[in-house]
Structure 1
Amino acid sequence: MEKRTDRPDQPLNERRQYYDAENRPVGRDNRGEGRRENRGDRDNAKPRYQQRPAADRSIDMLFGLRPILEALHAGRTLDKIFLLRGTKNSVTQEINELARERTIPISLVPIEKLNDLTRKNHQGAVAFVSPIDYAPLDSILAGLFEEGKTPLLLILDRITDVRNFGSIARNAECMGANAIVVPSRGAAQINGDALKTSAGALNLIPVCRESNLKDTITFLQQSGVQIVACTEKAEASLEAESVDLTGPVAVLMGSEEDGISPEYLKLADYKVRIPMAGQISSLNVSVASGIMLFEVLRQRLRKA
C-alpha cells in the first residue's frame, strides 16, 4: 500500500495547545493556574494549620480524665499530665493530689495544646506514660551505704534535649554511676528516643525524679555526699586534681542553654571546669558529663 504523500508536514517544534476551565487558551507554563483558581474557594473553606498534630503514640499516651485517674491508682508511672485549663471537678482535684504525691508534673493548657498532642478524642486530658519506673533517691543512697559502696550520682539541672539525656545516661552507666537525679519539671521526657540513644542504659541505671533540686542537694550534703559542679566559670581546672573525687560524689551538670542555675552553684561544695585547647569555649553537655564521670572513675581506679 502506498503512503499518502499529500499530508502536510508538521513542524518538529510544534507545541500542544492547552486550555483552562473557561476554554481559554493558556501557555504551557500557566496551564495549572485555572485549576488552582478553581480550587481556591475550596481551599479557603478548609481550616489551615501551621503545624499538623503529630502522629499518635498510643502506647506512650493516655487520654481522658478517668483513664488517667485509674492509671494513677494502679501505680503506673506517668511522665507528665496535661489538663485543659479551667476544668475543675472532683476527678481533676484527685488527679492533682495523686500527681503531687508522686512528683508528676501537671500542666494546665489550652485546647490547642491538647489538639497538637493528639488527634484522638482526649476529652481535655492527656498523659504521657513513662517507659521506666522512677526510683526513690533516699532508698538508693541508704542501700549504697549499707552495701559498703561509694556513691556516684549524676544531677542534671534542666537537661531538656531527649537525645542528650539518652547519651548522658549511657555515659553514666558505662562509668559506674549509681543513679541519675532529674527535676520533676523542666527535664527531658524519657521516651523511646531517649531509650534508643541510651543504648538500653535507662533500663539499667536508676533515675530519681525530685520535686526540688535545692532540697535534694542539701539532703545529699547532709548524707555525706559532696556536690561537684561542672562549670566553665570555675577557677579550678579538672586536670589539676584539686578536688578529691574518690569519696561519695554527686556531679552536677547544667542545662544546654545557660548551664547550672546560680542557686545550685552557690550550694556546690566544689566547682571545676574542663580544660580546653580549642577556640570553642564550651562542650556539649553529654560530652562534658562523660569527661567528668571518667575523671571520677580514673581517680577511684588509681586509688584502688
Structure 2
Amino acid sequence: MVFYTFDPMEKETTIFGIRAIIEAIKSGENIDKIFLQKGLKGDLFTELEQLIRQERLNASYVPFEKLNRLSKKNHQGAVAQIAPISFYDIEDLVLNVIESGKTPLFLLLDQLSDVRNFGAIIRTAECTGVSGIIIQKKGGAPVNGDTVKTSAGAIFKIPICKVDHIKDAVFHMQASGIKVIAATEKTDNTIYDVSFNEPCAIIMGSEGKGINPSVLKVADEKAKLPILGEIESLNVSVACGAFLYEAVRQRRL
C-alpha cells in the first residue's frame, strides 16, 4: 500500500516511507522529486537508491530536519512529491505545434532552481502564447504546490516536458527547424537585434550560473537585455518576461 497525504488547495501529493516510495515508482506514479535522508543505510534504502538511479528520477539528500518539515508522518528517511501535472513528450509536442500551423515559440529552462521564479515564468509564458516549456529532469525547481500557486494556475494550461539534458531539447528543436536563442549577457546582441518572427525557442539559465556553457555553445543565436543602471542583471523571471514580450511585439508587427 502506498501511503501519502494530499492537499487539495496545493494540488500536491506527498508520499512518505521507503517501501511506499518504492511501490509508487514501480507502479508508474508521476514522481517529480524525492528527498532522502543524508547518511541513511540499510538494504531497503539501498534498493530505493538503485531504483531512483535506474529510473533517472530527481533526488536530493537532505538533513533529517528538512524531511520532518516535508512530512509530519513517520517518513523513515524518505519523502517523495508527485507532480500535479502530467508531462508531455517533447517529440509529440513539437510535432503537434508545427502541424497546427502556428509559429512555434518554446521556452527551455536550464536548471532554474527557485520555484517562485519557475511559477512566475510559467504564468508569463501562458500569457504570451508560448507553445511549451522544457525543463531538465534533474537539478531544477520541483513542480509542486508552490509552482501551482505562483503560476496562478497557468501550469495547467501550458504543456511542460522533461528531458535528460537541456542540450537534448536544443538538438531536437534545431532538427525540427526551430531556431534556438540563448538569453545571456555574453554577447553584443540585444533582444532588438534578433528576430523572433520565425519558429524559435528561448533558453533561460539558472539564477546563479546562467546557461550551462555546453548548452550556450550549441545555441543558434545569443541575445541580452540592455542594462542602463548599475545593477548588472535582472531577476530571471523578469528577464524572461522581457524576452517573451519582445517576441510578442515582433510577431504583431
Instruction: Show CA shifts across 1:238-296 (max 9, x none).
Output: 22xx3221111110011111211111111111001111322222111111101101111
Q: 1:99 and 2:17 equivalent? A: no
Deviates more, 1:114-123 or 1:185-194: 114-123
**Secondary structure of 1:251's aligned partner:** strand
CA–CA distance in 2 between the matches of 1:162 and 1:93? Answer: 25
CA–CA distance in 2 between the matches of 1:164 and 1:93? Answer: 29
CA–CA distance in 2 between the matches of 1:202 and 1:289? Answer: 16
How far does residue 159 in structure 1 lie from its aligned partner after superposition? 1.1
Equivalent residue in structure 1 for 2:173, among 196, 211, 220: 220
- 1:229-268 pair list within 5 angstroms: 229-239=182-192, 242-268=193-219
Cα distance change, pair 80–87 in 1 and its aligned pair in 2 (3 A): farther
CA–CA distance in 1 between the matches of 2:106 and 2:42? Answer: 40
Structure 2 gaps of 5+ residues are 8-12
**Secondary structure of 1:236's aligned partner:** coil
Aligned-pair identity (%): 44
How far does residue 109 in structure 1 lie from its aligned partner after superposition? 5.5
Deviates more, 1:63-72 or 1:267-276: 63-72
Residue type of the partner of 1:82?
F
Cα distance change, pair 291–92 in 1 and its aligned pair in 2 (3 A): same
Residue type of the partner of 1:292?
F
Does the Cα contact within 8 Å between 1:99 and 1:106 map onto a contact in 2? Answer: no
Number of aligned residue pairs: 242
Deviates more, 1:77-86 or 1:285-294: 77-86
CA–CA distance in 2 between the matches of 1:188 and 1:144? Answer: 25
Q: 1:283 and 2:234 equivalent? A: yes
**Secondary structure of 1:237's aligned partner:** coil
Residue type of the partner of 1:237?
T
- 1:123-134 pair list within 5 angstroms: 123-134=76-87
Q: Which residue of 2 aligns with 1:173?
A: 126
Residue type of the partner of 1:75?
G
Instruction: Show CA shifts across 1:42-99 (max 9, x none).
Output: xxxxxxxxxxxxxx97543101233223333443211112345444459537733663
Cα distance change, pair 93–277 in 1 and its aligned pair in 2 (3 A): closer
- 1:181-196 pair list within 5 angstroms: 181-196=134-149
**Secondary structure of 2:15's aligned partner:** strand
Equivalent residue in structure 1 for 2:96, among 143, 146, 168: 143
Cα distance change, pair 129–176 in 1 and its aligned pair in 2 (3 A): same
CA–CA distance in 2 between the matches of 1:230 and 1:284? Answer: 12
CA–CA distance in 2 between the matches of 1:288 and 1:57? Answer: 36
- Structure 1 length-normalised TM: 0.72
Q: Which residue of 2 aligns with 1:62?
A: 15
Considering only aligned residues, what root-mean-square deviation do their CA atoms show, in Å? 2.3
> Highest Rg: 1 or 2?
1
**Secondary structure of 1:168's aligned partner:** helix
Q: For CA contacts below 8 A with separation 6 or more, give which structure has more relative contact order.
A: 2
Cα distance change, pair 265–81 in 1 and its aligned pair in 2 (3 A): same
